[in-house]
């Protein structure tokens, strides 16, 4: 039996909703997913996000963002660190996504941060995903 990775599930739901041009996507809520949604909003990849109680379960609702020509703002998502193979970086080795155009999301000792915030704070951690 293969257990699903919650972060990979979140990224896959966002990727599928983007391809189908949906306005919003519902994801089971967790604190980490909520922090990732906060970063996506702060970086301008999504319009907004809310937490709703649907059928007695906390659900994270992301409102997706599209350009004027209906192309999704999120062009790509990639899970980096997986349960089977974790990917940690030091403060000096925080990756840049597409030369700084994209964003790497890291789980650090001070919380979930973007690559630029981690570089400013001189903190390394686990690279969760890349988004561009």
pTM score: 0.90
Which two three-digit tokens encode residue 58? 């906390």
Domain count, the chain: 1
Chain-centre distance of CA 109, in angstroms?
A: 18
Look at residue 4 and tell me whether its pLDDT is greater than 90. no
What's the distance, Cα to Cα, between the start and end of the chain in Å?
A: 32
Q: What is the domain extent for residue 122? A: 6-131
Confidence class for position 2, pLDDT limits 50, 70, 90: low
Q: What's the rounded Cα separation, in Å, for the pair 80 and 86?
A: 8
Would you say residue 85 lies in a domain? yes
Residue 1 lies in a domain: no
Residue 30 lies inside a defined structural domain of this protein? yes
Mean pLDDT, all residues of the chain: 94
The Cα 11–Cα 85 span in angstroms is 17
CATH code of 101's domain:
3.30.1490.10
Backbone angles phi and psi of 101, in degrees to 5? -75, -40
pLDDT tens column, 13-65: 999 999 999 999 999 999 999 999 999 999 999 999 999 999 999 999 999 99
What three-state secondary structure class fits 11? helix
The owner of tokens 């990979």 is: 8
């Amino acid at each position: 039996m293969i257990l699903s990775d919650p972060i990979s599930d979140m990224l896959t739901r966002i990727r599928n909703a983007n391809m189908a041009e949906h306005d919003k996507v519902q994801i089971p809520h967790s604190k980490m997913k909520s922090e990732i949604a906060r970063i996506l909003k702060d970086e301008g990849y999504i319009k907004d996000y809310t937490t709703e109680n649907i059928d007695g379960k906390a659900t994270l609702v992301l409102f997706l963002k599209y350009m004027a020509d209906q192309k999704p703002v999120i062009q790509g998502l990639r899970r980096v660190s997986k349960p089977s193979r974790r990917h940690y970086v030091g403060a000096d080795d925080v990756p840049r996504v597409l030369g700084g155009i994209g964003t790497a999301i890291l789980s650090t000792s001070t919380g979930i941060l973007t690559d630029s915030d981690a570089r400013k704070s001189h903190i390394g951690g686990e690279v969760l995903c890349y988004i561009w």
